Amino acid sequence: MRILSLLILSVLFAFFRVQTKSPHGPAFKVNCATCHSSKGWLLDKEVYSYDHNTTKLPLEGQHKLINCRQCHKSLVFTDAGTECLECHMDIHQSTVGPDCSRCHTPASWLVGNINEIHQRSRFPLLGAHRTAGCMDCHKSENQVRFDVLGVECIDCHRSDYFSTTNPNHAEAGFSEDCSRCHPVNAFQWSGAGFNHSFFPLVQGHSAIQCSDCHTTGKYSDASPECNTCHQQDYLATTNPNHSTAGFPAGCDLCHTLLPGWKPASYAQHDTQAFPIYSGRHKGEWNTCTDCHTNPSNYAAFTCLNCHEHNKTEMDNEHNEIAGYTYDSPSCLNCHPNGDSD
């Protein structure tokens, strides 16, 4: 009889337990003893052992210290959201997006690595941008709004563009993309770094000002021809006299970009006239006037300036050559390459 009574009580207890609605919702399957004890239905911290790290929102940092009801407004725990903005007011007013974890951690609201964070944005901070104040670019009604003027150079630097007069960017029709001339990783506007590869600004051209070549203010009409800038140098040169000698106006025929116009080298002399950079005459002369004694006529030349001490030897070698005389200017007829044969 006693056994039958216990069976009946067990069935009744199970029946009423099934009929009782859990305040935590029908989907909650955690054993009551995980949070409660026989002391009452209030949370008993002495027995509480629920592992919140098994949920979609593990408790880290400051989340470990807050009261459960701050997130779980109702006893139905599944009603609690896992997104930051479901608990935290957006003081940035939708200017940086809804994901607080892009800048903040559960440990603190303070942000100590904003430069690093900004490197992952659509406008990485380089050069002078790394030391600029946030409000210099994010001009907002308060210091926690981060409205973006834009990510194009001109969005922030329009006044710089229009106020620049050397050169005048607006009149010259320069691109509003500052990065075409000014590296974004620089700390100042000067030393622009414009990609001038179509006419390399190196060596003798490296220290010039834009206005030295671009004299009209319109930067598209400058000629890359040497004579455009160096005509006066060409006309003023007397050793040798370039214009009298009929030298071509293309400076690069003889000159490199080294400052001072030296060294000069007329390499075409070997193929068009006489080998002086190769063969036996290589390194045996110093200046053009060693052979061309008349600076007004480079078609005339003499061999005797160097070979006068060999008269006896030359006479002996040419004693059977008809018409030979030591001071004949016709050496080239028989020795076109400067050799002894």
Q: Mind listing the pLDDT tens digit for each residue in 135-160?
A: 888 888 888 888 888 888 899 899 99
Same domain (yes/no): 261, 294: no
Residue 164, domain member (yes or no): no
Q: Looking at the structure, do residues 276 and 240 belong to the same domain, yes or no? A: no
Is 277 contained in some domain? yes
Tell me which of 82, 112, 140 is where a domain ends: 82
Establish if 65 belongs to a structural domain. Answer: yes
- The last residue of a domain, from among 29, 57, 82: 82
- Tell me what pLDDT residue 192 has: 58
Judge if pTM exceeds 0.85.
no
Domains held by the chain: number: 3
In a domain, 32, yes or no: yes
Residue 54 lies in a domain: yes
Give the model's pLDDT for residue 69. 87
Render the burial of 190-222: b for 16+ CB within 10 Å, e for the rest.
eeeeeeeeeeeeeeeeeeeebeebeeeeebeee
Same domain, 244 and 277: no
- pLDDT computed for residue 8 by the predictor: 45
In a domain, 125, yes or no: no
Residue 312 belongs to what domain range?
Answer: 267-341
- Count of CB atoms within 10 A of residue 251's CB? 20
Together in a domain, 273 and 339: yes
* pLDDT recorded at residue 6: 47
Domain boundary at 265, 299, 323, which?
265
Q: What are the residue ranges in the chain where pLDDT is below 70?
A: 1-20, 190-193, 309, 328-329, 340-341
Closest C-alpha to 87, from 74, 102, 72? 72
Q: Is the domain of 301 the same as that of 328?
A: yes
* pLDDT on residue 3: 61
